Chains A and B, each alone.
Chain A
Amino acid sequence: MLRMGRNDHETIRAVLSGDKEAYGALVVRHSHSLFRVAFRITGNEADAEDVVQEAFLRGYQKLEGFESRSNFSTWIYRIAVRCALDRVSGRKVDERSRVGEENDPEQDAVQVADSAAGPDRLLLSGEIGALQQSAMQSLTATEQTAFVLRHMEDCSTEEIGAALGIAPNAAKQAVFRAVHKMRSRLSSLRVRT
């Protein structure tokens, strides 16, 4: 039976006092928000659910390092973003390697998989979202995550830097590069409309 009446800090104290079940209340309370951001970053339901699980697992293991003056929702949110970033990074590395293997083995440069279909066909089928998704896939994992946090999660540059573990200015540059690449990918869409 999960006790939901306590606030996050009281619950954390209970967990650290040996009440493992109390952590369930935190999981139930924050699962939806973590799933949302995890899905936006990974773009995949299964991956997003795995990210949520992993984030709560990491959070539990690091709970002793949680500072009581912090906000648990912000803390676990950042953990989830890092988990999602790791997952996207690994996926992109796999995709690049796979594309590289299918091409000239003497070519040193790893080629980026381009799953984008022609803009005309996409527009005709009304799959603008697919074009956006392909544009997102052209970004690096950090750029993609930074863009999601900026464009969809309304995070500030400082919050993005904290979530990604980078300096605010680096986070700002990641957002700029992401926007630049996204615009390049979406330019065909603009011409057709």
Chain B
Amino acid sequence: MKHLTEEELIGRYYNERGGEGEDFARAEEHLAACEMCAETYAALSWDLGEVKVIEAPARDEAYGERVWAALEPKLVAYKKRRWSWLRGGVLRGLSYAAVCGLLVAGAFIAGRLSVEKQKQTQVAQTPAPKPKPRVVVVVLSDHLDRSERLLVELKHVDAGSAEMMSPLRDEAKSLLAANKICRQKASHEDDPALTTALDRLDHVLDGLANQPGGLNSAAIERLQEEMNAEGLLFEVRVLRSRNPDEHGAGINRPNGGTI
């Protein structure tokens, strides 16, 4: 049988007062069974029972006021805390809110800047496609080829045949725009032979396309004479043979269409 230690007995003694303690039941059980521990505990109880509770000398009712009277001069009043509480509470809350607001705003701005930067990076990496100009490609050799055919038809057309007038006029109208472009390009490139030939061609085409009162036999004959006198057909053939490499090369015409 394991006897109770002095510490356990002391603990049991004081716990007994309050009726509490984890080992109270075990100690109680052991004390009931163990005569030696019971005697030891009885001695302990006697000793501690002899230790009288020290009774403090009585203080009169005015004791507290005397203590205060002696103490009061040593104390410095606290500063008003009502407003400091408000400052401490409300301003602290406001400052927290301000900090939170700044953080949110900062995060928002940072996010926006990041997105903008990403967009700029993407833009820098993939340059924006320039507005694609409407390009009209006028191939000089084709134009000369078509002009030659028109001039051949004009040369051999029967001035009295009215049914042939309309196709001639339509083709002349179609060639007239292209001819102006080719003429401008030739003038730009300082090609006087081509410029002169296209200038004459322009005159003939204009006569065919825009003949006041419509094409008639008199106008056809006049244009035929004009064409033959100036050797325009021959000149177009020479130019066409001179520029075989330009076949497929084009002349850009802004705001136009493919001719």
Q: Which residues of A contact B64 (CB under 8 A)?
A: 27-32
Q: Does chain B have a CB within 8 A of A166?
A: no
Q: How far is the CB of A143 from chain B (nearest CB, A)?
A: 13
How many residues of A sit at the interface, in one of the four size bands?
35 or more
Q: Please tell me if A23 contacts chain B, counting CB pairs below 8 Å.
A: yes
Assess the B68–A154 pair: CB atoms within 8 A.
Answer: no
Q: A151-B48, A186-B47, A190-B43 are in contact. Are A52 and B67 (CB under 8 A)?
A: yes
| CB-contact partner of A31 in B10, B50, B51, B59, under 8 A | B59
If A24-B72, A31-B67 touch, whether A48 touches B51 (CB-CB below 8 Å) is: no
Please measure, in the bound complex, the distance between the C-alpha atom of A18 and the C-alpha atom of B14, giving whole angstroms.
45
Per a CB cutoff under 8 Å, which of A2, A35, A150, A189 touches B63?
A35
Q: Is A15 an interface residue (CB 8 A)?
A: yes
The reply to whether the CB of A56 lies closer than 8 angstroms to some CB of chain B is: yes
A17 touches which of B18, B63, B80 (Cβ 8 Å): B80
- The answer to whether the Cβ of B130 comes within 8 Å of any Cβ in the partner chain is no
Task: Report the Cα distance A56→B66, complex, angstroms.
Answer: 13
Residue B44, interface by CB 8 Å? yes
Asked whether, in the complex, the Cβ of A154 is within 8 Å of the Cβ of B17, the reply is yes
Chain B residues, CB < 8 A from A72? none
Interface string of A124-161 (1 = CB under 8 A from B): 00001100100100000000000010111010100000
Q: B53 and A56: CB pair below 8 A?
A: no
Judge whether B47 and A17 touch: CB under 8 Å: no
Specify which chain B residues have a CB less than 8 angstroms from the CB of A43 in the assembled complex: 54
A36 to chain B: closest residue by CB: B56
CA distance A182 to B13 in the complex (A): 15
Distance in angstroms from A5 CB to nearest chain B CB is 16
Q: Is B52 an interface residue (CB 8 A)?
A: yes
Q: Is B78 touching A15 in the complex (CB atoms < 8 A)?
A: yes
Complex partner residue of A57 from B6, B63, B74, CB under 8 angstroms: B74
Interface, chain B (partner A; CB < 8 A)? 6-7, 10-11, 14, 17-18, 43-44, 46-48, 50-54, 56-57, 59, 63-65, 67-68, 70-72, 74-82
A-B contact pairs, 17 of them (CB 8 A): A2-B65, A16-B81, A24-B68, A27-B71, A31-B64, A35-B63, A39-B54, A57-B71, A151-B14, A151-B48, A175-B10, A176-B11, A180-B6, A183-B48, A186-B47, A189-B50, A190-B46
9 additional contacts, CB 8 Å, given A18-B80, A60-B71?
A: A18-B81, A20-B72, A27-B67, A30-B64, A31-B59, A53-B71, A56-B67, A60-B75, A154-B18
